[in-house]
A and B are shown apart, each in its own frame.
Chain A
Amino acid sequence: MDKLLQINNGECIERSHIPRVSPELFYRQLNQFVRNGGFVVQFFAYPENKQMIQLAVLRSSNLYILETAVTREYPSLTRSAGAKFNLFEREMAEQYGLRPAGHPWLKMLRYHANTSDRPDVFNNTYSEDIPGNYPYFQIQGESIHEVAVGPVHAGIIEPGHFRFQCAGEEVLHLEIQLGYQHRGVERMLRTVPHKRLISLCENIAGDTTIGHGLCCCQAIEALTGLIVARGASTVRTIAFELERLANHIGDLGALSGDVAFNPPAAYFGRIRGEFLNLLLQLSGNRFGKGLLRPGGVGYVMAAEQRQTIANKLKELRPEIQHVCDLLFTAHTVLARFEDTGTVSREIAHDLGLVGVCGRASGLEYDVREFFPTERYQDLPGLSNQVSHGDVYSRAMARYEDIVHSLDLIELLLAEEEQGYPAAALNEHEYQLAPSSCVVTLNEGWRGELSHCVLTDEQGQIARYKVKDPSFHNWPGLAMALRNQGISDFPLCNKSFNLSYCGFDL
């Protein structure tokens, strides 16, 4: 009965081992799994010999994989099993023209023509500018007014369109329409020489360079059988945590700035720079571009850099502590953070929120603990203390993450030195294992990142699927705004701080 195949994070499996079941069984299994509290990691389609295959990667405390052949239409799981499938099904409809029958909210995600010869699901011709034929949800009534924000914003943020239905100051509904930065990353990843995969992945979302880079490296390593030295793995882990630190600290500063509490905003802004500079020390780039390479790291971490990082952390830790104390003890700040933009545990679970936002709502899920990669199995896990699901919880979850990351880096630096070798420069094209599949997961600073790579008989990439945590969390922001003041939107938005380009791909 239970056909799900259990897999490991970053394990290369033969595609013939993936259980391919009948559609009826497939949808029943997925439905059952998610109704029993499971989550969706990946759910995408790919073409194979003129037919379409749907592949699902699910997680409970283990990872499972399952696939089925699908024709033009299939019964919507969003309708039968819930919102965890919502965006995945819309994505498939957009990418391959597969219609989820009975989907309650079938709208485009990124506005591009599908790559099959099936008719467009959204009746778009793509001759108009984005969003084309997009029916916004509207509430009718005398006292309802509609506010449209973006895609061009006043601050230095990425483009996205927000449509509010308000009664006075109260938001009744928020609709988020993205796609302005769609670049066709997944298609491009399929066509480039394998040597360039890592460079492309590092640029999927600039603030998650290390995160997406790590997922890509682990996938290539699984498919080529490259072994990463322990020292190189340590450097990767340190870089991954530095990226987390820089972004979380930047977020806390931005949250503070949004409620017009300037001192922490200024201090955190500087401290964020310090962490970016540590990445610069490691790789020559403030976002860590060029550091991760399949098989290890691109640069040696010398004793000098190791010392610099250790010294800097010792210097910054009390500073971070002080500024966080300043932020979290200011009662005017707490008055703004508390009970603002609350996402209950129930809703967070239904939507399948991940990362900081999920933990802030009480979903204890951290890839570093559940499916550890690199050095994480040797390191202690994180447990969040605050889980009310409001802006305060999300800020607090970041703070706890920051302290945890500092601990992890210090633990790694305190280890006896065994050398941190750089990966051998690969001048040849990587030979990927043919007809294989690998799923990699990592806990990016926003949450669960996942790449899934399928190769064909020649060892070429048949499908490269990228999933940024923002893909799970954008609906969370929309829910957080229900019955909130519209003036609190920027604060809620900042507390989620989701990626537009990571979503738009």
Chain B
Amino acid sequence: MQSVLSLILAFLLIPLLPGIILKTKALFTGKKGPPLLIKYYTLIKLLRKGSVYSTSTTFVFALGPLISCTTAAMALLFFPIAWVKPVLSFQGDIIVLLYLFGLGRFFTIAAALDTASPFEGMGAAREAFFSTLSEITLFGVLILFFRMNGSLSLGGYFAGPAPLSFAGTEAALLVLVVVGLFMVLLAENSRVPVDDPTTHLELTMIHEAMILDHSGPDLALIELGAYCKLFFYAAFVACLLKPPHLNLGFVSATLLFYGLIFLVYAAIGITESVTARLKMPKVAKYLLTSFALVFFAIILTSMELIQ
């Protein structure tokens, strides 16, 4: 019951959260910024419009948004939102989950290539390359977590019998993981310093370049999928940040969870305000740095085992 409740609550709140990033950025630039509910308005606006399809596209083009949105939403079914047992869970679900994201990405890329536009092909190539690199980090995290708590499911990590937390010797390792995951979060959700979600310059885009030809409800689906994905990663980081030895009820846990989520989104906004984008060839190094952090943590756990 609680699982379903928190899932519904999450879906309702998901479009609100990117508004926090926009507000943070506006604060740094001395502007008022768009209203917090801007993304709800965007979704409603897009859903009320019609879609335009180029005559050179096929059904693959229409499939892209649908699949990328569904897979991102499905991922949340497995997520222990606010440390509550997830709606669905089984041993190994995290691997399925990462490939669900992969499936969504595959169809987004296929849809982009389907348009035969030079920009979209370029965006697709970049996306494919960079997401391969961030996958290494994510699997590094899985290996590490398996060593730390013997589980291969998200539910097991945060809502199982021995949840991961900043208690004991693990804490130091988790710091590395949090930093590494946050770097991947920025890359996977096309944020600065890897991508610039607000740019209008086709040649510099990564994710945005792939969806240039989508419009109306299709674009709404893509946006919604992107919000879900961002929420997934932010929630992952937020869950790790839970203070140790804290026994909370459902309501207080939910409040704490969204408080942490707020911090993560604000951190994204701050990062975007104080750094410029990386040069495209430097992105690979950036992603491998996140892997290096996680890999370092893995080595440290091995040393513990040896002792």
CA–CA, A260 and B195, complex, Å? 9
Query: Which residue on B lies nearest to A340, using beta carbons?
Result: B279
CB of B74 to closest CB in A, whole Å: 31
Of B29, B278, B281, which is within 8 A of A263 by CB? B29
Instruction: Determine whether the beta carbon of B276 is less than 8 Å from that of A259.
Output: yes
Instruction: Determine whether the beta carbon of B277 is less than 8 Å from that of A154.
Output: no
CA–CA, A145 and B272, complex, Å? 32
CA–CA, A147 and B205, complex, Å? 14
Q: Which residues of A contact B198 (CB under 8 A)?
A: 260
Q: Which residues of B contact A487 (CB under 8 A)?
A: 203-204, 279-280
Q: Which residues of B contact A266 (CB under 8 A)?
A: 29-31
Instruction: Determine whether the beta carbon of A332 is less than 8 Å from that of B30.
Output: no
Q: Does any Cβ of A come within 8 Å of B275's Cβ? A: yes
Known: A145-B118, A154-B201, A154-B202. A485 touches B280 (CB 8 A): yes
Count of chain B residues with a beta carbon within 8 Å of a chain A beta carbon: 30
Q: Does any Cβ of A come within 8 Å of B86's Cβ? A: no
Q: Which residues of A contact B78 (CB under 8 A)?
A: none
Of A146, A336, A490, which is within 8 A of B279 by CB? A336
Query: Which residue on B lies nearest to A333, using beta carbons?
Result: B276
Q: Does any Cβ of A come within 8 Å of B41's Cβ? A: no
Q: Does any Cβ of A come within 8 Å of B122's Cβ? A: yes
Q: Which residues of B contact A267 (CB under 8 A)?
A: 29-30
- Against B, the Cβ 8 Å flags (1 = close, 0 = not) of A158-174 are 00000000000100000
CB of B92 to closest CB in A, whole Å: 37
Q: Does any Cβ of B come within 8 Å of A148's Cβ? A: yes
Known: A147-B122, A262-B25, A332-B193. A155 touches B201 (CB 8 A): yes
| Residues of B176-233 whose CB lies within 8 A of A | 192-193, 196, 198-204
Count of chain A residues with a beta carbon within 8 Å of a chain B beta carbon: 31
CA–CA, A364 and B121, complex, Å? 43
Q: Does any Cβ of A come within 8 Å of B51's Cβ? A: no
Instruction: Determine whether the beta carbon of B276 is less than 8 Å from that of A335.
Output: yes
CA–CA, A490 and B201, complex, Å? 7
Of B118, B199, B273, which is within 8 A of A148 by CB? B118
Query: Which residue on B lies nearest to A265, using beta carbons?
Result: B29
- Against A, the Cβ 8 Å flags (1 = close, 0 = not) of B258-297 are 0000000000000011111111111000000000000000
CB of B266 to closest CB in A, whole Å: 15
CB of A117 to closest CB in B, whole Å: 42
Q: Does any Cβ of A come within 8 Å of B83's Cβ? A: no
CA–CA, A473 and B242, complex, Å? 57
Q: Which residues of A contact B203 (CB under 8 A)?
A: 147, 149, 486-487, 489-490
Q: Which residues of B contact A340 (CB under 8 A)?
A: 279
| Residues of B136-188 whose CB lies within 8 A of A | none
Instruction: Determine whether the beta carbon of B281 is less than 8 Å from that of A485.
Output: yes
Instruction: Determine whether the beta carbon of B204 is less than 8 Å from that of A335.
Output: no
CA–CA, A335 and B279, complex, Å? 8
Instruction: Determine whether the beta carbon of A490 is less than 8 Å from that of B204.
Output: yes
CA–CA, A263 and B28, complex, Å? 6
Q: Which residues of B contact A169 (CB under 8 A)?
A: 122, 280-281
Instruction: Determine whether the beta carbon of A259 is less than 8 Å from that of B122.
Output: no
- Against A, the Cβ 8 Å flags (1 = close, 0 = not) of B47-60 are 00000000000000
Instruction: Determine whether the beta carbon of B118 is less than 8 Å from that of A146.
Output: yes
CA–CA, A410 and B57, complex, Å? 61
Q: Which residues of B contact A262 (CB under 8 A)?
A: 25, 28-29, 272-273
Q: Which residues of A contact B275 (CB under 8 A)?
A: 261, 330, 332
Q: Does any Cβ of A come within 8 Å of B119's Cβ? A: yes
9 A-B residue pairings within 8 Å (CB atoms) = A147-B122, A259-B276, A262-B25, A262-B273, A332-B275, A332-B278, A487-B279, A488-B280, A490-B203
Q: What 3 pairs across the A-B complex have the smallest Cβ distances?
A: A266-B29, A259-B276, A261-B276
Known: A258-B201, A265-B29. 19 other contacts (CB 8 A): A155-B201, A169-B280, A169-B281, A259-B277, A260-B198, A260-B277, A261-B276, A262-B272, A263-B28, A330-B275, A333-B276, A335-B279, A485-B280, A485-B281, A486-B122, A487-B204, A487-B279, A487-B280, A489-B203
Chain B residues within CB distance 8 Å of chain A: 25, 28-31, 118-119, 121-122, 192-193, 196, 198-204, 272-282
